[in-house]
Amino acid sequence: MLIPDKLLVDRDLFDWVLFTKLKLDRDEYSPDVLHEKLQAEFLDLNVPFLDLLPFLRVRHDEGFKLYHNDDGHWDTAGHQEAADRLYDFLKSKEWL
């Protein structure tokens, strides 16, 4: 299971931290590069995986708060969303 950091889920926060606060070059950084590389590796190895990034981004964009305000850990809603997605993934693979 690929578990994204809060910065990857909240694109506005990613932009603020990297490009406003740290003043990094926007052309050199993408929030999706690491996940894309990990996905490619898992696919090449034929390893089933669940990437939570798209699910958490959708929920975040819908206005759900998934992480604690003061750090990058999930709050109760974030844990529930991950548990729901993991359950669906395991069922889809007929592992449950």
Tens digits of residue pLDDT in 27-47: 888 888 888 999 999 999 999
Query: What is the pTM (predicted TM-score) of this model?
Result: 0.88
Can you give the pLDDT at residue 74?
A: 96
- Separation between Cα atoms, residue 66 and residue 6, nearest integer Å: 9
- Separation between Cα atoms, residue 6 and residue 75, nearest integer Å: 11
Tens digits of residue pLDDT in 50-77: 999 999 999 999 999 999 998 889 999 9
| Residues 76, 80, 83, 89, Cα dihedral to 10° | -140
